[in-house]
Chains A and B, each alone.
Chain A
Amino acid sequence: MSGAWTAVLLGGVGCYLLKLAGLSVPASVLERTTVRRMADRLPVALLAALVAVQVLGEGHRVVLDARAAGLATAVVLLLARVPFLFVVIGAGATAAVLRAVG
């Protein structure tokens, strides 16, 4: 995978600096409501987009396959308040079984 080390180092160092900035920057800069509202919304939008692209994206196409069934299992498990690890395993196992059968 080309560029993987670049991504790992760039992302790794950057994420550390973001953490350090929070502990170092005067609170007044980051406690402004606009900044707080954006930081509150960023993870929601990014994670939702990652779910969509990871489950429905296939190169440059949008497809419905075993991954969608895996996601449906994840929804059921989350509604049942099952721990994180089992949600992940449940989603994967559903897709694996469907692919083995189909």
Chain B
Amino acid sequence: MSDPAATASEVERRAVVRDSLGVGVATGLYGVSFGAVATAAGLSVAQTCALSLLMFTGASQFALVSVLSGGGGAVAAAAAALLLGVRNTLYGVRLTTLLGWRGRRRALAAHLVIDESTAMAVTRTSTATARLGFLVTGGTIFLLWNLFTLLGAVAGATIGDPRSYGLDAAVGGAFLALLWPRLDSAGHRVLAIVAAAVALGLVPLAPAGVPVLAAGGVALLAGLLREGRSAP
């Protein structure tokens, strides 16, 4: 390793792996909170683990469980999860040229497209380091998220009444923590307040699950209206 360029890239590779592992471990561990919440809310251990394996995108998983446990139907629960999952589509658009995978590799990589793996890839300047950041972050989280979901699910299934442990409040805290970094502009803060108000206003009137979906409609409308105003 006397070639300075090779040494520099080795240093960069190590930094990417270290950062990605840090993010991956921190994120993977909170799979335990999802596992506990999901089984305490009434899902079986198998259903909870299937969600982490198949869906593998935290906010959507919490949303699905929240709508189901609130009495919402299967379609409303899945729809809430899907609407939250739309952001992963946008991440994919940014990642596709950066990662440069096709065919089967692309199909496998798609499963790892989440907030954290995207964040650890898009800041890289080369395909090699972008792939490294994406795979180490996504792979670490996939492994730990599923392992800790199982641990949390088994624990959650045995603890009795989830309300006495405050698990319903814990889910609210989880949603707020997911929302928090997105409240970075006045527009987003106003939208969050309007969406919450619309959802609460609909709680007495609409079937469970619908208030949350209606809030999604508010977001789509906000996107359209802004477009109309800025159009020439």
- Are A47 and B175 in contact, CB atoms less than 8 angstroms apart? yes
Q: Which of B54, B59, B89, B101 contacts A39 (CB 8 A)?
A: B89
Q: Determine the distance from Cα of A44 to Cα of B22 in the docked complex, in whole angstroms.
A: 26
Residue B164 CB within 8 A of the other chain: yes
For the side of the interface on A, what is the size category? Answer: 35 or more
Q: Which of B107, B167, B176, B203 contacts A62 (CB 8 A)?
A: B203
Q: Determine the distance from Cα of A93 to Cα of B178 in the docked complex, in whole angstroms.
A: 19
Q: Determine the distance from Cα of A19 to Cα of B220 in the docked complex, in whole angstroms.
A: 20
Contacts of A13 in B (CB 8 A): 54
Count: A-B pairs, CB below 8 Å:
334
How many chain B residues touch the partner (CB < 8 A)? 105
Chain B interface (Cβ < 8 Å from any Cβ of A): 26-27, 29-30, 32-33, 42-44, 47, 50-51, 53-57, 59-60, 62-64, 66, 68-71, 73-75, 77-78, 80-93, 95-97, 99, 101, 106-107, 109-111, 113, 163-180, 182-183, 188, 191-200, 203-205, 208, 211-212, 214-216, 218-220, 222-224, 226-227
Chain A interface (Cβ < 8 Å from any Cβ of B): 1, 3-16, 18-25, 27, 30-31, 33-34, 36-57, 59-62, 66-67, 69-71, 73-75, 78, 83-85, 87-97, 99-100
